[in-house]
């Protein structure tokens, strides 16, 4: 971090006017040259042709064309309620539960409000407004924050006391130790994923194994950092199964092309595919990563979203530790977020990654990357600690908290089942079960005539279907092409998040639309 003159010791170099290959950043020499202020030498204005092509190439479908159209229609309805044949836009494009009416967990919000305005804790009226344990918890959290200053930058990894709580939560979940120094709190899981891609990707010769279909954060992040996405297909026929033989095949193919594969992304429970991995399957994956020296990037943000009794979430950390693999055996990063689960606190931008198996020197660089953005937001940090240490038996809020949590999860399970059944009743549509996460990813066998019409409209067949669905019903799905799919198969992603009382209307509108669509295009 300290630069010194090369004359003095020669080991490090001060950033100076002389360019040096050892300079900590490319620092241009200032050899004086006559200045020629003429518009002929003027830099061209900033256009799409002169911005970073990696930015231009990157795609992000869950906020893409269809969603922009939906926002436009919504504004038209606002201006003129009869503008379209529906009263509202139903956003099934993104896992954003509270935007569709899901209520936040009361205890979490009580604690956040008290930490935001700690002088409430000195007032008598507060006891009438807040639960006893929320007040206790707020005190505890404030005591963990240096100077009780919720408005101060924290340690770059996040407040140490909050990381202690998260580590304790991980230990309780897994039955294996967790180290608070392995936790990096982030503004949601997305910045954590970017940080790891930035660390691992050096050039287009570096590859990241990603599932297809995948959550487009991964393709976007790999594109932005200039790496190569090495795809492995999930098997739709076996409920989006993840075959290690397929991983091996794709890794071999990548190597034969000179790609240095750095990491494997696994999303469990799956997004957009909703499958929950079996523990034996996870063990094979861990073994594969260990053998191949791959970093295992485990997207575990849906760890609380499991809807079928026959499946259970197991963290990759637990699985690898239970196989006897420790710090020295495998590089493992687990991502968690406050945006998902039963809490669904997307707007709070809280999350963390737990990093194990990296050497101290590499971790220093991860710490530096975290430091360049100073720290993640403290409310999000507090919430991340709360979701990993919710009320316990004996706490005043325990029962109401449990009722809120179970109500949300069981309702999500019912909604997933109802929508799955509805999709499977549609002509030419098949839909795997959502065992977990917040999505269904049905496959649609589109008639040739529809594919031809899409071609004429210069759009992908699945996007053609989704666009028609939106303009006729107000329902927003994301076309499968945004996630990747086996060529010449078509899908769309639909969240299970519309409120339960709205699900029948969604099913009716979708079913009627689908019939009309098929009647129009059936071969």
**Which of positions 60-99 make contact with a copy of itself (CB under 8 A)?**
60-61, 63-66, 71, 94, 96-99
- Residues 351-370 vs a copy of itself: string with x where CB under 8 A? -------xx-xx--x--xx-
- Applying CB under 8 A, which part among 151-159, 408-416, 432-440, 442-450 lies near a copy of itself? 151-159
Which of the residues 94 through 133 are near a copy of itself (CB under 8 A)?
94, 96-101, 104, 106, 109-110, 112-114, 116-117, 119-120, 123, 125-126, 128-129
Q: With respect to a copy of itself, which residue has the nearer C-beta, 43 or 393?
A: 43
Q: Which residue from 415, 484, 514, 521 is in contact with a copy of itself, where contact means CB under 8 A?
A: 484
Burial class (CB in 10 A: 0-12, 13-18, 19+), 328: exposed
DSSP 107: H
Binding of residue 154 to a copy of itself (CB under 8 A):
yes
Give the DSSP per-residue string, 403-433: HHHHHHHHHHHHHHHHHHHHHHHSTTEE---
Taking CB under 8 A as the criterion, which residues in 497-516 touch a copy of itself?
Answer: none
C-beta of residue 184 within 8 angstroms of C-beta of residue 370: yes
- Window 455-474: residues binding a copy of itself (CB under 8 A): 455, 458-463
Between residues 29 and 82, which has the closer beta carbon with respect to a copy of itself?
29
Q: Which of residues 157-196 bind a copy of itself (CB under 8 A)?
A: 187-188, 190-191, 194
Among 340, 348, 433, 468, binds a copy of itself (CB under 8 A): 348
# binding residues, a copy of itself (CB under 8 A) = 169
Which residues in 235-264 contact a copy of itself (CB under 8 A)?
248-257, 259-262
Q: Compute the distance between CA of residue 81 and CA of residue 79 in angstroms, rounded to an integer.
A: 7
Going edge to edge, which strands form the sheet with 439-440?
Answer: 439-440, 492-495, 478-479
What is the smallest separation between the CB atom of 309 and a copy of itself, expressed in angstroms? 29
Within 10 angstroms of residue 225's Cβ, the number of other Cβ atoms is 21
Q: Which of 161, 180, 211, 227 binds a copy of itself (CB under 8 A)?
A: 227
Six-digit token pair at 220? 């976007």
Instruction: For tokens 């050096």, name the residue.
Output: 202
Closest separation in Å from C-beta 39 to a copy of itself: 7
Nearest approach, Cβ of 354 to a copy of itself (angstroms)?
Answer: 16
Kindly tell me the sign of the dihedral angle through the C-alpha atoms of 191, 193, 199, 204. Answer: negative
Using the minimum distance from each CB to a copy of itself, give the nearer residue, 314 or 381: 381
Q: Are 207 and 227 in contact (CB under 8 A)?
A: yes
Q: What is the rounded radius of gyration, in angstroms, for the C-alpha atoms of the chain?
A: 25
Instruction: Kindly tell me which residue out of 131, 273, 356, 379 binds a copy of itself, with binding defined by CB under 8 A.
Output: 379
Site for a copy of itself in 261-290 (CB under 8 A): 261-262
Give the bridge partners for 403, in sequence order.
none
- Site track 195-214 with a copy of itself (rule: CB under 8 A), x = hit: ---xxxxx-x--x----x--
Kindly report the CA angle at 13 between 12 and 18, in degrees rounded to 5? Answer: 160
Q: Shortest distance, CB of residue 432 to a copy of itself, whole angstroms?
A: 21
Instruction: Count the Cβ atoms, other than its own, within 10 Å of residue 204.
Output: 13
Give every CB contact of residue 421 below 8 A, 6+ residues apart in sequence. none
Q: What span, in angstroms and rounded, lies between the C-alpha atoms of 412 and 306?
A: 9
Which residue stretch of 172-180, 292-300, 311-319, 384-392 sits at the interface with a copy of itself (rule: CB under 8 A)?
A: 292-300
Tokens of 175: 């039955």
């Amino acid at each position: 971090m300290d630069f010194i003159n090369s004359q003095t010791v020669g080991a490090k170099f001060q950033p100076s006017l002389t360019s040096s290959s050892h300079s900590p950043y490319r620092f241009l020499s200032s050899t004086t040259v006559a200045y020629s202020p003429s518009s002929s030498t003027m830099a061209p204005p900033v256009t799409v042709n002169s911005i970073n092509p990696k930015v231009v190439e990157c795609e992000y479908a869950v906020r893409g064309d269809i969603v922009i159209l939906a926002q436009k229609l919504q504004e038209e309805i606002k201006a003129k309620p009869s503008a379209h044949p529906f009263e509202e836009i139903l956003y099934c494009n993104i896992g954003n539960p509270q935007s569709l009416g899901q209520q936040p967990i009361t205890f979490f919000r009580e604690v956040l409000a008290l930490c935001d305005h700690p002088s409430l804790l000195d007032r008598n009226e507060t006891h009438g407004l807040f639960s006893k344990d929320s007040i206790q918890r707020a005190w505890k959290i404030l005591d963990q924050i240096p100077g009780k200053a919720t408005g101060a930058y924290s340690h770059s990894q996040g407040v140490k006391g909050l990381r202690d709580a998260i580590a304790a939560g991980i230990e309780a979940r897994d039955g294996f130790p967790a180290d608070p120094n392995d936790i990096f709190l982030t503004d949601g899981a997305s910045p954590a994923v970017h940080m790891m891609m930035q660390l691992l990707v050096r050039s287009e010769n570096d590859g990241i194994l990603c599932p297809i279909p995948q959550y487009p954060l991964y393709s976007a992040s790999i594109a932005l950092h200039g790496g190569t996405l090495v795809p492995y297909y999930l098997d739709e026929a076996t409920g989006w199964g993840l075959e290690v033989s397929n991983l091996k095949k794709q890794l071999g193919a990548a190597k034969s092309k000179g790609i240095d594969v750095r990491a494997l992304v696994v999303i469990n429970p799956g997004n957009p595919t909703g499958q929950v991995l079996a523990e034996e399957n996870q063990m094979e994956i861990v073994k594969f990563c260990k053998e191949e020296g791959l970093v295992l990037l485990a997207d575990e943000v849906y760890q609380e979203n499991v809807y079928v009794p026959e499946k259970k979430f197991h963290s990759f950390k637990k699985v690898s530790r239970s196989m006897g693999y420790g710090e020295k055996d495998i590089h493992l990063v687990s991502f968690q977020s406050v945006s998902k689960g039963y809490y669904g606190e997307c707007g709070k931008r809280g999350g963390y990654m737990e990093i194990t198996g990296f050497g101290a020197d590499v971790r220093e660089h991860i710490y530096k990357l975290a430091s360049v953005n100073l720290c993640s937001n403290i409310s999000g940090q507090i919430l991340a600690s709360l979701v990993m240490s919710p009320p316990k038996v004996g706490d005043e809020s325990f029962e109401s908290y449990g009722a809120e949590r179970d109500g949300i999860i069981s309702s999500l399970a019912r909604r997933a089942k109802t929508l799955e059944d509805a999709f499977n009743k549609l002509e030419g549509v098949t839909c795997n079960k959502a065992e977990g996460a917040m999505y269904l990813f049905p496959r649609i066998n589109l008639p040739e005539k529809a594919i031809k019409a899409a071609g004429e409209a210069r759009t992908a067949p699945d996007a053609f279907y989704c666009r028609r669905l939106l303009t006729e019903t107000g329902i927003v799905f994301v076309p499968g092409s945004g996630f990747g799919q086996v060529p010449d198969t078509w899908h769309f992603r639909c969240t299970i998040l519309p409120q339960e009382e709205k699900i029948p209307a969604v099913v009716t509108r979708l079913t009627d639309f689908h019939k009309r669509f098929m009647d129009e295009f059936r071969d």
